[in-house]
Amino acid sequence: MAYAYLFKYIIIGDTGVGKSCLLLQFTDKRFQPVHDLTIGVEFGARMITIDGKQIKLQIWDTAGQEAFRSITRSYYRGAAGALLVYDITRRDTFNHLTTWLEDARQHSNSNMVIMLIGNKSDLESRREVKKEEGEAFAREHGLVFMETSAKTAANVEEAFINTAKEIYEKIQEGVFDINNEANGIKIGPQHSTAGGASGAGGAGAGGAAGGGCC
Amino acid sequence: MLSRFSDVLQTAADVLAPPATRLEDFEYHWKMILNFYQNYDENSKLHVEETRIPHHLHQMLQLIVDEEKEQQGGTVGPCMEAIVQRSICLLDALCALAAAERPPGARALALTTGTALLRRTRQPCVNSAHVYRPLQRMLIQCNESPASPTEKEEVELLLTLCGLVRKEPGLANIFTTPFVEDKSTLLSIPEDIQKLIPIRSKIQTPKKNPLFEVELPPNPLRNVSIIRTGKDDGCNATSSSSADDNASCKSHKTVYDDNDKFLLIDLLLSYLNSADNQVVLRACEGIMIVSSLPEDDIANLVTSCSPACETIVDKLAAKYKCVPANVVASDVEHLNITWAYVAQDFGDKSYSKFHGYKELTSFFSWLDYCDTLMKECHPTIAAHLSRTFRQNFLEGVAEHGVADLHHAVIVTAILAKCLKVVDSPDLINEFSNWLVGDGEVSEWPLLHTLINNCLTDNYELTLETLRFFETPSYKLASGRRDGEVSEWPLLHTLINNCLTDNYELTLETLRFFETPSYKLASGRRDGEVSEWPLLHTLINNCLTDNYELTLETLRFFETIIEKGTEHSIHRVVLARVTSRGYFAPQPLTDDDERDRLNDLSLGREREYNREAMKQLQHEDHVNEQITDILSHEGLDPKQHDEGSENIHRVINSFLLLLPRAILSDPVGADYEHYIHDAHRRYQYWLDATSTFHWPSDYNWVDTTASSTHSYDSRPEADIHLDDAFEPLKPDHIAKHDPKHFSQKLVLRSRDLTSQTSETEEFDEGPFFKMIFKLLLNMPNQPYQVNLHLTSIISQLALLPHPNLHEYLLNPMLPTAKKTPTLFKTLQEVARRLTMEIPRLRNFKKIIENTRLWLMSEDPTYDENADHNQLVESLIVLEEFCKELAAVAFVKYQHTLHMQR
């Protein structure tokens, strides 16, 4: 399916905070209470519309366990957006945010949009982290913040789409170099097919034009 | 009311016939599966998903997950216990299903069920033989048929096991020799299972002749201990009640023989060749998980008992060979590939941006994987992998292309990009050493000279130097030889002796080098230094008349310097300048300073010349600007302290190199920009070289420029040999800061060289020879070449090394007449441009237009046929001078801050 842009996302955060459930809710609109432990990285994709433009989101759901950190680090570089998730019913997952943020900032490109997500907002009775604390953390570190529930789907759509909007705005402002694949953004095929429609000969000519700088 | 009634009924029913226990449910589903297979019709075409098998397996799995939730204190529930004790041999049955693939689809089902069991339970008891043996069997049997439709499920199971091993490193034992049965056993299904599930499996005999299979000792069914180093906290894993489960076996192997295997890695490697990118990705992840385990013995297993490193590098070499030879070099420059994302990107069919894109992407993503792996993995594996990278890829495959003039352009472009993107210190090291040669030549300039003297083609000199090594003091030293042997064992021993941490020995050996025979030898030095052939080829590639090759090779050198290690920068750049051989005091001449800087005409004639008036005004203006900038930095030029006067002179020399008449931008409005840029880059280099053992000489900028007053710009070089050695008795030296000691020695060597420098020419070495040659040729070269050339030089000028600084940035440096320096070369180019440009018709307009074009960075400009190369080189030179002045200023400023 044709799209104007493709954004690459990663979801990070401690094990058990509901990263895989958020992805499943966003891509399949369902909630699965019993879930396999994520090993390495899982992948999901969905199309959304921003400003009348089709945008394809490719989402990599990473393993939260320390054991797989060597793999998840590989995904920071080349992502345009990150959802940093904690569990509002587990204080420790909130306390680890700084470590996650440091890791992400160190390995990602500096323009990566990071959205802070307090998940499991349906479990109000077991809440350990106040909403205000999440907001304060986000303010302090320049993140966008939102509480979600992968179970009831509350704010899940918004979390993914708001991140995309932020990236989209950065593109409009010229902050992202969309030709650099390391930024996690790709221009859709419809832009390039306009030139590629001339058929097989087009590729050769394009190559020659690109190399003509010296 | 009704509901209460039904409750009562239910209670009554429960008393009469209590609900089945979980184990009974478990057994029920198990029997249903067995029943299915007892009555299975081999000719049935029914897919497994159309049977009840998936339902029963799912239920069994769910029962295990449910019972685990209720278990406490790490005990195992009855369902799991039935599996561990093999009273219900579920895993063996899964294995049989996978092998037989009956009904169709059973293999994938068996694999996903196995994976789910391992992922959903917190304690899958993998260390129990009845769990791991069927898993091994299943993996081996699936692996026997490459490119099978279940590859994805197979690799998921493998990856899951890797994850378990990562959490419990002891589990790695399951995949090592004593716990892996020989292959033929693993390829057959146990007889009791064959009776339970009476279907013929596809694979019954191994494809390879079993006679040639490695015979492994039969081993008892036992639990594998997950404790590797005698820690006693393994209670959470060995929790089964079975008697033989308690007999755990510890493996502390440190010696590996040829028959030792590491099955886990071997299996992962076999999926690297899959056509499915997702499968390859998973295998890569698995390898990374296992390689990043902190356990030394697992790392040793990976390097000694598996071909992992070799396979990974060979794959890189294979991908490299697939890159079409006619790829456009500039396309390579703009690639940015992350290995982990490529698998998904390749699913995109429209994904081909230019010719060779797919092959290049495939190659660079694999390089990124190698690099990431080296950063993440155990140091032992990183070292082995980077060595293999050098041998099997750089030396084995890539090196040939650099010298092959047909392909040198694209090969250079690819290699430059490789060096640019790699980040792992091991890899950068091996890469640099491949480029510049290994470290057998020491950092000691003295030794360096000696060794070079041995290697010239002047046999008389070689003989003399070698003879010198045979003196009695050598024999004394050789008695304590403890180093490695090289082609020149004698020399090598000496060098090693200098480099031990026994300072007494070092001192003795160095003293020995100071004997007259050394001086004799160095006095006759005239040979070419035998250079590392690859480096030599690269330098020569810059000097061909193929500008495309020059450009790509210059880019490569830019990266080589950017990614330079102490060793590689020494080899390429510093080897000659550390001797300070370029320094040679000359008698004073009466030239007026301005005339020296500006060769246009004599001062008196100018007075009558309108242009000369402007030139004078221009010079005054530049001087004002410099004063302005200096006072901005809190330096009052009116104080006339020597430092600020000197830096003023240095900046002046660069800024007034070209006469005003041909400047494209006489105002110099962007000078601030250059200073800002130089600041940033200098800070980068200060950080990057902070661990290098370079002499730190905070006076250097200050004193460099003072040469018009005192030719020896290094008063500290007056330290005498005796000072370097005598006051420090050997026992003191050991406690003394070795860095200080080495600095003194370096200073000594400078002294020695400068004594002889009047009679001999300084040899700047092949790299600077090439740089100066290209610089001199600027007016004839394309803009892009000049741009990269000047960028390399400005990078070098930024390096915080005192000698290099002096050699490049001191215009007043006294040298022998024929000794080339940067400033002399620039003057030469300026002279030529000053002569030739005014001859062009309407030259002022051309200069103005060319500047506008170049600054606009209009891409169509390149295709514009009538651009003027000569004028372009003028503008490059003009800007380059500003840049050098800024660099000199920033370095001076830094020194001031250090002094304050």
Shortest CB distance from A40 goes to which of B159, B328, B859?
A: B159
Q: How far apart are CA B192 and CA B415, in angstroms?
A: 58
pLDDT of A169 above 90:
yes
Shortest CB distance from A70 goes to which of B167, B288, B551?
A: B288
CB contact under 8 A, B338 and A67: no
Q: What is the pLDDT of residue B217?
A: 42
CB contact under 8 A, A71 and B166: no
A-B interface: how many C-beta pairs under 8 angstroms?
106
B869 contacts in chain A (CB < 8 Å): none
Strands A113-119 and A144-147: parallel
Q: How far apart are CA B876 and CA B657, in angstroms?
A: 13
Shortest CB distance from A68 goes to which of B116, B163, B335?
A: B163
Q: How far apart are CA B676 and CA B655, in angstroms?
A: 17
Least reliable range by pLDDT among A1-10, B194-203, B215-224, B528-537:
B215-224
Shortest CB distance from A212 goes to which of B163, B354, B862?
A: B862
- Between the alpha carbon of residue B890 and those of residues A44, B291, B569, B665, B676, the distances in Å are 51, 45, 22, 22, 9
Q: How far apart are CA B415 and CA A156, in angstroms?
A: 45
pLDDT of B125 above 80:
yes
Task: Look at chain A and count its residues.
Answer: 214
Q: How far apart are CA A204 and CA B646, in angstroms?
A: 57
- For residue B693, what pLDDT band results from cuts at 50, 70 and 90? confident
Q: How far apart are CA B127 and CA B170, in angstroms?
A: 9
pLDDT of B745 above 60:
no
Shortest CB distance from B344 goes to which of A37, A58, A189?
A: A58
Task: Look at chain B and count its residues.
Answer: 900
- For residue B74, what pLDDT band results from cuts at 50, 70 and 90? confident
- Condensed to tens digits (0 to 9), the pLDDT of residues B794-810 reads 999 999 998 999 999 99
Q: How far apart are CA B252 and CA A26, in angstroms?
A: 48
Q: For the whole model, what pTM was predicted? A: 0.75
CB contact under 8 A, A214 and B782: yes
Residue-wise burial string across B1-11, b where 16 or more C-beta atoms lie within 10 A, e elsewhere: eeeeeeeeeee
Q: Does A203 touch chain B (CB under 8 A)?
A: yes
Q: What is the pLDDT of residue A197?
A: 35
pLDDT of B130 above 80:
yes
CB contact under 8 A, A40 and B862: no
CB contact under 8 A, B288 and A71: yes
| 3 state DSSP class of B28 | helix
- Between the alpha carbon of residue B741 and those of residues A64, B504, B731, B736, B878, the distances in Å are 51, 12, 13, 8, 42
Q: Does B112 touch chain A (CB under 8 A)?
A: no
Q: What is the pLDDT of residue A119?
A: 96
Q: What is the pLDDT of residue B614?
A: 74
B348 contacts in chain A (CB < 8 Å): 189
- For residue B529, what pLDDT band results from cuts at 50, 70 and 90? very low
pLDDT of B527 above 60:
no
CB contact under 8 A, B163 and A77: no
Q: Which of B194, B68, B70, B178 is nearest to B125 (CA)?
A: B68
pLDDT of B592 above 60:
no
Alpha-helical regions (H) of B144-270: 151-167, 183-186, 191-196, 263-270
A64 contacts in chain B (CB < 8 Å): none
Q: How far apart are CA B455 and CA B438, in angstroms?
A: 16
Which domains are delineated in chain A? 5-187 (3.40.50.300)
The answer to whether the CB of B410 falls within 8 A of the CB of B327 is yes
pLDDT of B601 above 60:
no
Q: Does B689 touch chain A (CB under 8 A)?
A: no
CB contact under 8 A, B376 and A73: yes
CB contact under 8 A, B289 and A70: yes
A57 contacts in chain B (CB < 8 Å): none
Q: What is the pLDDT of residue B409?
A: 84
**Amino acid occupying residue B677:** D
The answer to whether the CB of B792 falls within 8 A of the CB of B558 is yes
**Amino acid occupying residue B239:** S
- For residue B260, what pLDDT band results from cuts at 50, 70 and 90? confident
Shortest CB distance from B119 goes to which of A37, A73, A179?
A: A37
Q: What is the pLDDT of residue A146?
A: 95
CB contact under 8 A, A74 and B339: yes
The answer to whether the CB of B391 falls within 8 A of the CB of B309 is no
- For residue B302, what pLDDT band results from cuts at 50, 70 and 90? very high
A60 contacts in chain B (CB < 8 Å): 340
pLDDT of B374 above 70:
yes
Q: What is the pLDDT of residue A38?
A: 85
Q: What is the pLDDT of residue B500?
A: 54
Record the tokens describing residue A126, joined without a space. Answer: 């077991």
Q: Does A213 touch chain B (CB under 8 A)?
A: yes
The answer to whether the CB of A134 falls within 8 A of the CB of A147 is yes
- For residue B7, what pLDDT band results from cuts at 50, 70 and 90? confident
Residue listed under structure tokens 């140091």? B379
pLDDT of A148 above 50:
yes
Most confident of A121-135, B484-498, B630-644, B671-685: A121-135
Q: Does A67 touch chain B (CB under 8 A)?
A: yes
Q: Is residue A213 classed exposed, middle or buried when 0-12, 13-18 and 19+ CB atoms within 10 A define those classes?
A: middle
pLDDT of B826 above 70:
yes
Question: Which one has a higher pLDDT value, B225 or A117?
Answer: A117
Q: Does B371 touch chain A (CB under 8 A)?
A: no
Q: Is residue A80 classed exposed, middle or buried when 0-12, 13-18 and 19+ CB atoms within 10 A define those classes?
A: buried
Q: How far apart are CA B99 and CA B569, in angstroms?
A: 58
For testing contact with chain A, the best of B341, B547, B555, B863 (most A CBs within 10 A): B341
Q: How far apart are CA B872 and CA B251, in angstroms?
A: 71
CB contact under 8 A, B163 and A40: yes
pLDDT of A202 above 50:
no
CB contact under 8 A, B330 and A210: yes
Question: Cα-atom radius of gyration of chain B, to the nearest Å?
Answer: 37
Q: How far apart are CA A75 and CA B727, in angstroms?
A: 58
Q: What is the pLDDT of residue B186?
A: 72
Q: Which residues 11-30 on chain B approach chain A with CB closer than 8 angstroms?
A: none
For testing contact with chain A, the best of B288, B336, B348, B377 (most A CBs within 10 A): B336
The residue-averaged pLDDT of B660-681 equals: 84
CB contact under 8 A, A77 and B167: no
pLDDT of A164 above 70:
yes
Q: How far apart are CA B458 and CA B521, in angstroms?
A: 11
Shortest CB distance from B355 goes to which of A40, A181, A204?
A: A204
Q: Does A77 touch chain B (CB under 8 A)?
A: yes
Q: Which residues 283-302 on chain B approach chain A with CB closer than 8 angstroms?
A: 285-286, 288-289, 292
The residue-averaged pLDDT of B634-658 equals: 74
Mind giving me the DSSP string for B430-494?
Answer: HHHHHHH--TTS-S-HHHHHHHHHHHSS-HHHHHHHHHHHTSHHHHHHHTT--S---SSHHHHHH
Q: Which residues 163-222 on chain B approach chain A with CB closer than 8 angstroms?
A: 163, 166-167
| 3 state DSSP class of B248 | strand
Question: Which one has a higher pLDDT value, B782 or A194?
Answer: B782
pLDDT of B898 above 90:
no
pLDDT of B679 above 70:
yes
Question: Which one has a higher pLDDT value, B725 or B894?
Answer: B894
Backbone angles phi, psi at B387, to 5 degrees: -65, -45
CB contact under 8 A, A214 and B338: no
In this prediction, does ipTM exceed 0.95? no
pLDDT more than 90, % of chain B:
27
Shortest CB distance from A210 goes to which of B119, B167, B354?
A: B354
Q: Does A174 touch chain B (CB under 8 A)?
A: no
CB contact under 8 A, B289 and A210: no
Q: Does A81 touch chain B (CB under 8 A)?
A: no
Q: Which residues 540-599 on chain B approach chain A with CB closer than 8 angstroms?
A: 547-548, 551
- For residue B376, what pLDDT band results from cuts at 50, 70 and 90? very high
Q: Does A39 touch chain B (CB under 8 A)?
A: yes
CB contact under 8 A, B159 and A208: no
| Nearest chain B CA: its distance from A72 CA (Å) | 9
Average pLDDT of chain B to the nearest whole number: 74
Chain B residue with minimum CA distance to A197: B350
Chain A residue with minimum CA distance to B328: A211
| Nearest chain B CA: its distance from A36 CA (Å) | 5
- For residue A40, what pLDDT band results from cuts at 50, 70 and 90? confident
CB contact under 8 A, A39 and B160: yes
Q: What residues contact B273, with CB distance under 8 A and at least 6 apart? A: B146, B280
B344 contacts in chain A (CB < 8 Å): 43, 58
Q: What is the pLDDT of residue A175?
A: 85
Shortest CB distance from A213 goes to which of B120, B288, B862?
A: B862
- Condensed to tens digits (0 to 9), the pLDDT of residues A46-101 reads 999 999 999 999 999 999 888 888 888 889 988 999 999 999 999 999 999 999 99
